[in-house]
Amino acid sequence: MKYPSAPKTITWFIGILCGILGIIGHYAHIEYLSEYNYVLLLIGFIMLAIGTTFRGL
């Protein structure tokens, strides 16, 4: 059985950054962020999930 591995720092940073920008866009009215807040949250979650699933990403 394979266990999840820690993602690389850059993958983790991009995922967290996208998630934080999505949350900010949901609660504050910033033109671009408010328009794509759910997409940013989804991208952040997918980046973190892929980073822990595949070793070396």
pLDDT of residue 20: 93
pTM of this structure: 0.82
The domain limits of the chain are 9-53
pLDDT of residue 1: 65
pLDDT of residue 23: 92
Q: What is the DSSP string of 16-55?
A: HHHHHHHHHHHHS--HHHHHTHHHHHHHHHHHHHHHHHST
pLDDT of residue 21: 92
CB of 51 closer than 8 Å to CB of 8: yes
- Rounded distance between C-alpha atoms, residue 44 and residue 1, angstroms: 26
Chunk the chain into consecutive blocks of 10 residues (it has 57) and report each block's average pLDDT, rounded to whole numbers. 81 92 92 90 92 82
